[in-house]
Amino acid sequence: MAQLQAQEFWAKAEKYLMSTGVPYSPIIVTKAHGTILYDQNGHEILDFTSGQMSSLLGHSHPEIVEVVRNNVAQLDHLLSNMITQPVVALAERLARFLPAPLEKSFFLNTGSETTEAALKMAKVFTGKFEIVAFSASFHGLTQGSGSATYSTGRRNAGPPTPGMLAFPAPYAYRSPFRKADGSYDWETEIEFGWSMIDRQSVGSLAAFIMEPILSTGGILVPPKGYLKRMAEECRKRDMLVIMDEAQTGVGRTGKMFAFEDDEIVPDILCLSKTLGCGLPLGSVSTTPEIARGLSQSKFLWLTTHLNDPLTAAVGNKVLEIVERDNIAQRATERGEQLRVGLEDLQKKYWCIGDVRGRGLFQAIEIIANAETKAPGPDLGQLVSDKALELGLSCNVVNLPGMGGVFRLAPPVTVTADEISKGLRILDEAFGAVLESCNSAVA
């Protein structure tokens, strides 16, 4: 019976849903609670991706559920110029977390919306139009944000927004920039990158938009001092720094914001996924000076769900829980446990070329050859499929040149036992896939 129902479900999906280029998961999830997903057969699956890297506090957190229940019955959606108490409360609470002089915010739905707005803000405030982004960036796929995205999604859609320039991503594992001892020479890489930008620019550099840890690009973690140096180079050129913390913000990496690790403050900060804990909420924050300049220049940003009260109430509760329950510290503790386990797997399996990340935002890069470090996306996909079969959902980046990178970002409410269980499943998945590959070769 269950098999027939599943067949009917997929037949309807095939008939009525249009593919957007993202392959469907083979499982049908019917319920999600905490760190556990349940499929149509009642099987439990550990969620090590926090949904779409968003459910920071786990699925169906009881306090979030209560906020949604209460607010949807009282104040759900209004005309966008009607400012409500939940919106002001969220802006006030967020400002307490923001480093000075960041203070003023407005609220949208998705990461693409926040970065799209931030790019326009930078252009309007500076009067310039050129935007720089990392070569492995992902800031969304709308026109402006998609033009600043270099990791994927650039084919067959015509010309991007004019003035978009790419900067070498800080990919320590694969960068060709090396010191005599073989270590990553990021200082020289930065100098090379800026020399290329200066040659390409027509003299209208407005901003550099960056993720403090590049997620879709493969959890690329810049070395200590990197972001600070980048900010200094931007200041030399009178450019704004836009920080996109869609996945790293709100405590996931062990700090409230990942850029704090380098003790810098961006001019514009974008939050999204983790702020809404799985609900559609994003924020754009900036300084009073920039806000005044935008107002004087008649900056306009208007969307249907601008400053919606329902999602604002959720964001306010998320920040309350993050502070009250010391979520950043939990991310550090459970992240250390996850990292140690992943490094143990690396010692055991030759195909794990690199382990990297921060807090509960970790990655393992799969290679096909231990000597050449050739990317191993096909092998990575086999391991991912086997892990899902065994009860673990983990996200594999299989973009060209990314080598099959597992992004491991469970909810920060994950327990030590659940981390251990996830590591055991990964161990079993690697073992089974490699044994099968060896048997096929033999």
pLDDT digits (tens, 9 = 90+) for 79-129: 999 999 999 999 999 999 999 999 999 999 999 999 999 999 999 999 999
Mean predicted confidence (pLDDT) in 277-282: 96
Please report the pLDDT score of residue 395 as a whole number: 82
Please report the pLDDT score of residue 44 as a whole number: 97
Joined tokens for residue 233:
């180079």
**Residue 4 backbone zone (phi > 0: left; psi -120 to 50: alpha; other: beta):** alpha
CA contacts within 13 A on the Cβ side of 42: 1
Joined tokens for residue 98:
């923001």
Please say whether the beta carbons of 106 and 269 come within 8 A.
Answer: no
Q: Across the strands, what pairs with 286?
A: 104, 268
Cα angle value 406/411/416 (rounded, 5°): 90
* Residue 12 to residue 391: CA distance in whole angstroms: 26
* Residue 7 to residue 18: CA distance in whole angstroms: 18
Nearest to 331 by CA among 358, 293, 304, 367: 358
* % of residues, the chain, pLDDT over 90: 91
Whether the per-residue pLDDT at 1 is higher than 60: the answer is no
Whether the per-residue pLDDT at 399 is higher than 70: the answer is no
For 81, the 3-state DSSP assignment is: coil
Whether the per-residue pLDDT at 300 is higher than 90: the answer is yes
pLDDT band, very low/low/confident/very high, at 6 (cuts 50, 70, 90): confident
To the nearest whole number, what is the mean pLDDT of the chain? 95
Q: Across the strands, what pairs with 131?
A: 164, 207
Distance of CA 425 to the CA centre of its chain: 24
Domains of the chain: 2-60+327-441 (3.90.1150.10), 75-324 (3.40.640.10)
* Residue 92 to residue 97: CA distance in whole angstroms: 9
Mean predicted confidence (pLDDT) in 371-400: 90
Q: How many CB atoms lie within 10 A of CB 150?
A: 21
* Residue 434 to residue 350: CA distance in whole angstroms: 10
* % of residues, the chain, pLDDT over 70: 97
Please report the pLDDT score of residue 400 as a whole number: 63
Q: Catalogue the long-range contacts made by 319-326 (C-beta closer than 8 Å, 24 or more residues apart).
A: 319/90, 319/93, 319/94, 319/97, 319/250, 319/275, 320/93, 321/57, 321/61, 321/63, 322/56, 322/57, 322/250, 322/251, 322/256, 323/97
For 254, the 3-state DSSP assignment is: coil
Joined tokens for residue 230:
């980048």
Please say whether the beta carbons of 399 and 425 come within 8 A.
Answer: no
Span of 173-182, 203-212, 389-398, 424-433 with lowest mean pLDDT: 389-398
Q: Which amino acid is at 8?
A: E
pLDDT band, very low/low/confident/very high, at 157 (cuts 50, 70, 90): confident
Total-model pTM: 0.96
Please report the pLDDT score of residue 3 as a whole number: 73
pLDDT band, very low/low/confident/very high, at 141 (cuts 50, 70, 90): very high
Please report the pLDDT score of residue 397 as a whole number: 76
pLDDT band, very low/low/confident/very high, at 2 (cuts 50, 70, 90): low
* Residue 205 to residue 226: CA distance in whole angstroms: 20
Please report the pLDDT score of residue 396 as a whole number: 83
Buried (b) or exposed (e) across 329-341, using 16+ Cβ within 10 A? ebbbbbbeebbeb
